[in-house]
Structure 1
Amino acid sequence: MLRFLAFLALAACGSVDYDDAPVGKLSGTVLVMWVGETEAGEGDGRFVYVPSATPLRFERANPSATLKTIQPQMMYTDGGSIPALAQVFKGFSPWGYAPAYIVHDWLFVARKCVNDNSANPDQAAVAQMPFGESATVAAEVIKTLIATNTVAPNDIAPQLIASAVAGPIAKSRWNEDGACARDKVTSAHVDMIRRALPAPPGARSAQRPGKGPVAQIVQVIDFGAP
């Protein structure tokens, strides 16, 4: 998601009304894994959202939604990218609104592949979504997390985050070209994830990656069946 310092500076530029965002439905499991040190010199490392047997899914109640159901695929995610100094404030934990960050990140991953004419069928579903709606989705997920008592209410953070992801830096990333292949999870990181997770039933040993680095689970949130 957007770097925290940037969205603080640009929050006032957003036009999302958090109070009007409808509550949707979250189901499935959030599984985030650490695969190594950060490559940009910022944050706590490199993280991957990993779809499980019951992947995260967000069903929207917004009647004007161009995409009613959002189900992220495997991708890199940086959570809220919040510096340590800012994490002392309520609502600004880098993973406090993890499902919202992951759903929002997925829309951008998919959009970049649409921009590069390299989208798979799931990514192509984002093609008709205008930029402003991506920020609305973030607001809807945060509001759903609060409405279902998954996270505590907050008077400031939800509106600030929703407004920030509607700002010009986010828009430039939404329209970015040449990023689809660059943002794809590498085969080395996929192998690290596969070494960390149980083999699926019936899997042959030859299908499993050999010895090497193992990814670490950093967060699991289960919303139950759809």
Structure 2
Amino acid sequence: MRKGIYTTFIALLVLAGCGTIYYRDLKPGSFSGKLFVMWVGEGNSSGDGKFVFVPAPGNELTFTRPSGSHTAGVIKPGVMYTDGGSIPKIAQMFKGLSPWGYAPAYMIHDWLFVARHCLVDQAPDARFQDLSDVDFDESARIVGEAIHALIDERKVARNDLAGEAVTSAVSSGIARRLWDEKGACERSQISKEHLAEINAVFPDISTSAKLRTFRLPPDMPQVPPRRQARIISVVEF
């Protein structure tokens, strides 16, 4: 999730409900598809490093919201930078608060932020058309629905405290300020060097799939990969 959201995570563990959305009131959605997470660099005090989320073309990670949802019924994230859950090291001792404990849910939430930042910066991208009506509160509901889905599908153990804390954090005032941040769209674009590394790891992905999920400029020059990136996690539904 966006850096800074979890700077108040310890307080949220004690005072769950500081945000505006309540995890216990949400219904589960459902996941399908497959995701890869690639390590591309060192991190800082939040998360475990710098990573790139890579959807599996033809079997993209897909989150379907519960019936009755009025916006973004189906969400398919594209390639993007991520640090999993930006959880300070001190908070990671608590059960359920690993940066990757709810990885698929974090990927959905990260994608909503990428879309929001590009929409705020008026940087049109067809990948975000179905997300233009998602507001801040809805983004928090979606991550809670996704955590419920992971529990229902037995991908993670039930932990209501962690689910409540995460949902509270992503609906907090800190998260809201990040949601409306300007100038963040350009920073979210994958570098040419990292795109080259992704291409080296996934040479069989078709050009049309790369243009859709990787957003490659048609005239992007070939950049020799540094061979630093490597797949560190695969999740399949």
Same fold (TM over 0.5): yes
Contact 1:35 1:48 in 2 (8 A): yes
Partner SS, residue 39 of structure 2: strand
Query: Size of the alignment, in residue pairs?
Result: 218
Evaluate the alpha carbon distance shift between residue 41 and residue 150 of structure 1 in structure 2; reply closer, same or farther with a 3 A threshold.
closer
Q: How does 1:51-200 map to 2 (within 5 A)?
A: 51-53=55-57, 54-200=59-205
Give the structure 1 partner of residue 212 of structure 2.
none
| 2:228 aligned partner, one-letter code | V
Give the structure 1 partner of residue 217 of structure 2: none
In structure 2, relative to structure 1, the CA distance for the partners of 1:194 and 1:128 (3 Å cut) is same
Q: Which has the higher helix share?
A: 2
Cα distance change, pair 52–93 in 1 and its aligned pair in 2 (3 A): same
Task: Choose which of 35, 45, 48 in structure 2 pairs with 1:44.
Answer: 48
Share of identical aligned residues, percent?
44
Letter in 2 for 1:49: F
Per the normalisation by structure 2, the TM-score is: 0.84
Question: What value does the CA root-mean-square deviation take over the aligned residues?
Answer: 2.1
Distance 1:157 1:201 in 2: 39
Is 1:218 matched with 2:223?
no
From the superposition, tell whether residues 88 and 191 of structure 1 become closer, same or farther in structure 2 (CA, over 3 Å).
same
- 1: distance between equivalents of 2:68 and 2:175? 24
**8 Å CA contact retained: 1:7, 1:167:** no
| Closer, same or farther: CA 201–74 of 1 in aligned 2, 3 Å | closer
Shift of 1:20: 2.1
CA contact (8 A) 2:87 2:98 kept: yes
Structure 2 unaligned spans of 5+: 208-220
